[in-house]
Amino acid sequence: MPRFKARFDRLSHLFFPLSVLVILLIINLLKGADYFKITMVNGVLYGNIPNILYGASELVILSIGMTLVTAAARGQDISIGESGAISSAIFVQYVLNAGEVTIWTILVGFLISCVAGLVIGAFNGTLVSFFNVQPMVATLILFLGGRSIAFIIDGKVSPILANPISNKIGTVIPGVPIQTPIILTAVFIALVAVVLKTTNLRLYVEAVGINPNAARLNGINPKKVIFLTFLLMGVCSAVAGFIAVNKVGRHDSVNLLKFIMMDAILAVALGGNSLSGGKFSITGSIIGAYTIEVLNRTLLRLEVNPEAIKAFKAVFIIILMIVASPVVRVYARKCLGKVKTFVAGNAIGKPGGLNQAVISSMDSSAKKEE
């Protein structure tokens, strides 16, 4: 029993992101009971759930990187979409210039784009860790210039990536019932899990994010750790860019992964992570990323005018953030305590139980008003 409790405590930080997800799913179920229905078309599974997993793949991958950067650097990388656009532009150019496209062409192109991601990560990481530039300011550079660079690499507007292998990566591989981006995302998550298991990444990143001074006096070089998180962010961007470009089949340097950093930051926050660094939960961020995708689709399902979706999303997020804020949490705990004492008072049969509880709650609310 105590072991269960310990495990429960360890998972308690997932309570908030999971409950948001569940609320959204319930709203969807109320709208139509067939929400979870999955149909088989041409040997592939389709339905709301597969669509969500498919649609969120880039965001999930990016939110993993964003979690690490946030935890160590106590700030966010806002150039991830641009970084993905650049590395995928390089991938597309490699494939287009390679002549015959084989699985090896794609693989080499992917690895090259990952190297490009590393270079971009190194650039951002150097600015943040060695020159002490605020993460958002440092990454603002590529946020502004990144898409131009991607366009220069493209050489023209939207080069088309038309080959059967890319098509399979972007949609489905015949004979496999699950869409490829979902599989790729799952593989990526598994890889991250392995990295977290076989290295001290978590301990180093958390130590640096919580107390860089103490980390340094224990032999950790905070600069190197922050730099490393930006490298990993670069790889995440490259992978997300790779998936995104294969999904749409052309490289649109203007719209590819546009404004996705906002969703990624939101996913990190929804996942229960502090945006000012420290302890982190990648599981939380992944749930957060899927939650955002569900939210987008829910609003569509509720037939909100596509032009108005952003406003609704904003309202929803404001409500979420206020509910999850420490101010409300403390207040909720206080109210809960009052209810408990009230119930206890009643159970004992104290005549004053009710009055006291009411009076004290009135007192506290009066104080609040002041």
Partner 1 sequence: MQTEIILKMEGICKSFPGVRALHNVDFVLRKGEIHALMGENGAGKSTLTKILNGVYEKDAGRIMIEGRPVHFKSPQDAQNMGIGTVFQEIALCPNLTVAENMFIGRSRDVFVNWKQMNEKAAAMLRSLGIPASPTQELASCSIAVQQMIAIARAVDMDCKILILDEPTSSLDEDEVQKLFALMRELKARGVGIIFITHFLDQVYAISDRITVLRNGELIGEYLTAELPQIELVAKMMGKALSDVSAMKKQEPSKSDKRVPVFAAKELSSAAGVKPFDFTIHKGEVNGFAGLLGSGRSESVRAIFAADKITGGEVKINGKRVKIRTPLHAMKHGIGYLPEDRKSEGIIDELSVRDNIILALQVMKGFFKPLARKQAEEFANQYIKLLDIKTPSLDTPIKSLSGGNQQKVILARWLLTHPMYLILDEPTRGIDVGTKVEIQKLVLKLAADGMSLTFISSEIDEMLRVCSRLIVMKDREIVGELSGENMTEQNVMHMIAQGGK
Binding site for partner 1 (CB under 8 A): 6, 9-10, 197-201, 203-204, 206-207, 210-211, 213-221, 278-279
Q: How far apart are CA 56 and CA 256, in angstroms?
A: 14
Shortest reach from residue 174's CB to partner 1, in Å: 40
Shortest reach from residue 9's CB to partner 1, in Å: 7
Rounded to 5°, the CA angle 76-80-83 comes to 140
- Smaller CB distance to partner 1: residue 199 or 360? 199
The neighbour count for residue 336, using CB atoms within 10 Å, is: 10
Shortest reach from residue 196's CB to partner 1, in Å: 9
Distance of alpha carbon 338 from its chain centroid, rounded?
A: 36
- Smaller CB distance to partner 1: residue 307 or 370? 370
Helix ranges restricted to H, 78-134: 80-97, 103-125
Shortest reach from residue 213's CB to partner 1, in Å: 5
Contact present, 17 and 294 (Cβ < 8 Å): no
- Smaller CB distance to partner 1: residue 39 or 213? 213
Tell how many helices (H) and how many strands (E) occur in the chain: 17, 2
Contact present, 240 and 117 (Cβ < 8 Å): no
Among 332, 206, 331, 229, residue whose Cα is nearest residue 276: 206
- Smaller CB distance to partner 1: residue 9 or 303? 9
Q: How would you classify the pairing of strands 44-47 and 38-41?
A: antiparallel
Shortest reach from residue 4's CB to partner 1, in Å: 14
- Smaller CB distance to partner 1: residue 51 or 134? 134
- Smaller CB distance to partner 1: residue 148 or 276? 276
Q: Which helix (H) or strand (E) holds 45?
A: strand 44-47
The neighbour count for residue 97, using CB atoms within 10 Å, is: 9
Shortest reach from residue 57's CB to partner 1, in Å: 29
Q: Collect all residues with Cβ–Cβ distance below 8 Å to 226 and sequence separation of at least 6.
A: 72, 73, 125, 128, 129, 208
- Smaller CB distance to partner 1: residue 216 or 297? 216
Q: Which helix (H) or strand (E) holds 38?
A: strand 38-41
Shortest reach from residue 268's CB to partner 1, in Å: 17
Shortest reach from residue 324's CB to partner 1, in Å: 18
- Smaller CB distance to partner 1: residue 86 or 220? 220
